[in-house]
Chain A
Amino acid sequence: MSPALLSGLLAWGTLVGLDLVSVPQMMIARPLVAGPIAGAMLGDGWTGLTLGVLFELFQYEVLPVGAARYPEYGPATVAAVSAAHAAAGTLGLGLGALVGLITGMAGGLSLHAVRRLNARAVRRATAALEAGDARVLVRLHTAAILRDAARAAVVTALGLGLALLARTYLAGTISLRGVLLLDVAAVGSALAVGTAGTLRLVGRGPDLRWFAAGVVGGAAVAWLR
């Protein structure tokens, strides 16, 4: 992979990581968006789209309310696409999912760390904030956004590094059957997480009937195709 391409993926992963919480929350952080763009950058649209769909199912489990802690799947999807790109076609799905899930977990931890650093910065600036110093307020806010951008860049770099390691040391050592088992585990767990996450969102109220009707309708369309 060329340095220019690697820099492009790093920049995209950083933007995606920044979008999740800080700026502007326009949902480029969704795996369904992050994956296909990363795939297009690598000239591998199919892998980007497929891993985007796979991680979007994982995303259905996340409800970002209050101070909830959750994995970060945006930069994780970029790293996953980079890992899967080398192993052509379906063979790369499991490898990509492995790299992506580890990166997602690291991303979640890094969010918590940045929030603690932000709290420390706020404590240090309390006197100026209570005095209504608008310059300090804006500076504090800008510094926090830059901190989040650095965090997103580090998480993406970690993911891309993991992808490189996986491509170099794992891809060649696993048998064809092993790769297929990895793919089964990746897709199977994504479907399980997506279904469980949606059911939690829907709840046991009247919306459950609409969900069931949707499943029947979707299954009918899938069967007819």
Chain B
Amino acid sequence: MSAAPRARPAFGRSLLRLFTVQGSWNYERMQGVGMGVAEEPLLRDLRVAGNGAAYRAAVARGAHFFNAHPYLCGLAVGAAARAEHEGVPPDQVERLRTALCGPLGSLGDRLVWAGWLPFTSGLALIAVALGLGLPAILGFLVVFNAGHVALRWWALRAGWTHGVRVAVALRQPLLQRATAVLGPAMAFVVGAALPLVAQYLGSGFLGWSRVALAGVAAFGFALLWWLRARLTGVRLGLVLLAVATLAGWLWP
């Protein structure tokens, strides 16, 4: 068992380092090294308490394999650091980290990559299409990052508060409600953005080119849908642009 943790000053440092958690992403330990770097400030108390061996062992464990959603990594960092301070056996700390990978990855993907991010980006697309211009982009950055920073902060604090019982934090009603609401909200907003963006981007096309645009968009969508396992958007775009260049040279 170690000395009582003095987490408050270390919290800020850990949070700042969490913003770089994917900086050393690799196929060996994935986010592991970044996780170790973020957890290290929270482990310094172990060294101060004269327990250098416990500190080094905890730092080594903190840098082991880990992969989850980057915005929620703080939950595992806080929980593991708390467990180390409470003298939880090393294999249990390892099991805790392993057990958190899946739930934090899936929750973060649903909440952020498939929810908050496309939702706020869709709102920005609507605003740009309606003529708001640069303020819409600024608004997107402010609103998205308000949620982003709040989530990172909450995750680190919740991890530290609950330690090995961190699963309690994942059952937070607010988190569950946000996940449930963001799915339909994202679908509605991005759905509304698509026709408006089509109008915005298509406004420069007149006559035959407007008909061609509708045809290319429909043909491209059909191709992407039927060949979804093989055809990516970037390849479709490059093929269509190559065909257009060729047609332009043949039909001057």
Q: Measuring CB to CB, which residues of chain A are less than 8 angstroms from any residue of chain B? A: 21-28, 30, 32-33, 36, 40, 45, 49-50, 52-54, 56-61, 63-67, 71, 89-90, 93-94, 97-98, 101-102, 104-105, 108, 115-116, 118-119, 121-123, 129-134, 137-138, 140-145, 148, 174-175, 177-202, 206-208, 210-215, 217-219, 221-222, 225
CB within 8 Å for A184 and B205 given contacts A33-B137, A118-B24: yes
Contacts of B70 in A (CB 8 A): 25
A157 to B63, CA, bound (A): 34
Query: Which of B4-12, B91-99, B166-174, B236-244 sits within the interface?
Result: B236-244
Contacts of B71 in A (CB 8 A): 25
- In the complex, the answer to whether A32 meets B248 with C-beta atoms within 8 Å is no
Q: Is the interface of B mostly helix, strand, loop or mixed?
A: helix
Q: Which of A144, A178, A214 contacts B248 (CB 8 A)?
A: A178
Contacts of B215 in A (CB 8 A): 188
Instruction: Say yes or no for B87: interface residue by CB 8 A criterion.
Output: no
Q: Which 10 A-B pairs have the closest CB atoms?
A: A178-B248, A214-B191, A188-B216, A132-B56, A192-B220, A193-B233, A144-B24, A218-B192, A118-B26, A90-B204
CB within 8 Å for A33 and B244 given contacts A67-B27, A206-B184: no
A128 to B121, CA, bound (A): 43
- In the complex, the answer to whether A53 meets B201 with C-beta atoms within 8 Å is yes
Chain B's closest residue to A128 (CB) is: B60
A208 to B184, CA, bound (A): 8
A154 to B243, CA, bound (A): 29
Contacts of B27 in A (CB 8 A): 67, 115-116, 119
Would you give the shortest CB distance from B230 to chain A, in whole angstroms?
13
Pull 20 A–B residue pairs with CB atoms less than 8 Å apart, ordered by A.
A26-B144, A27-B144, A36-B137, A66-B67, A90-B204, A97-B237, A119-B26, A132-B56, A141-B23, A144-B24, A145-B24, A148-B23, A174-B248, A181-B212, A184-B205, A192-B233, A193-B220, A210-B187, A211-B191, A214-B188
Interface members, chain B 172-191 (any A CB < 8 Å): 183-191
Q: Mark B13-38, 1 if CB is under 8 A from A, else 0.
A: 00000011011111111100110110
Q: Is the interface of A mostly helix, strand, loop or mixed?
A: helix
A52 to B138, CA, bound (A): 13
- In the complex, the answer to whether B125 meets A58 with C-beta atoms within 8 Å is no
- In the complex, the answer to whether A138 meets B187 with C-beta atoms within 8 Å is no
- In the complex, the answer to whether A218 meets B234 with C-beta atoms within 8 Å is no
Interface members, chain B 129-150 (any A CB < 8 Å): 129-130, 133-134, 137, 140-141, 144-145, 148
- In the complex, the answer to whether B60 meets A132 with C-beta atoms within 8 Å is yes
Would you give the shortest CB distance from A153 to chain B, in whole angstroms?
16
- Give the interface centre of A21, A53, A208, A212 by most chain B CB atoms within 10 Å: A53
Chain A's closest residue to B245 (CB) is: A182
- In the complex, the answer to whether A137 meets B198 with C-beta atoms within 8 Å is no
CB within 8 Å for A193 and B237 given contacts A24-B20, A56-B125, A215-B192: yes
CB within 8 Å for A177 and B252 given contacts A66-B105, A119-B26, A189-B240: yes
Chain A's closest residue to B22 (CB) is: A21
Contacts of B237 in A (CB 8 A): 58, 97, 101, 185-186, 189-190, 193
- In the complex, the answer to whether B141 meets A28 with C-beta atoms within 8 Å is yes
Would you give the shortest CB distance from A195 to chain B, in whole angstroms?
5
Would you give the shortest CB distance from A99 to chain B, in whole angstroms?
10
Q: Which of A179, A200, A210, A215 contacts B195 (CB 8 A)?
A: A215
Chain A's closest residue to B40 (CB) is: A134
Would you give the shortest CB distance from B85 to chain A, in whole angstroms?
16
Instruction: Say yes or no for B107: interface residue by CB 8 A criterion.
Output: no
Q: Which of B233, B234, B248 contacts A177 (CB 8 A)?
A: B248
A193 to B197, CA, bound (A): 13
Given A183-B204, A210-B188, 5 new contacts (CB under 8 A): A52-B128, A56-B121, A178-B251, A190-B201, A214-B187
Q: Which of B148, B190, B236 contacts A214 (CB 8 A)?
A: B190
Contacts of A188 in B (CB 8 A): 212-217, 219-220, 240
CB within 8 Å for A115 and B25 given contacts A133-B56, A177-B248, A211-B191: yes
Q: Which of A26, A108, A180 contacts B148 (CB 8 A)?
A: A26
Contacts of A175 in B (CB 8 A): 248, 252
CB within 8 Å for A45 and B134 given contacts A118-B24, A178-B249: yes
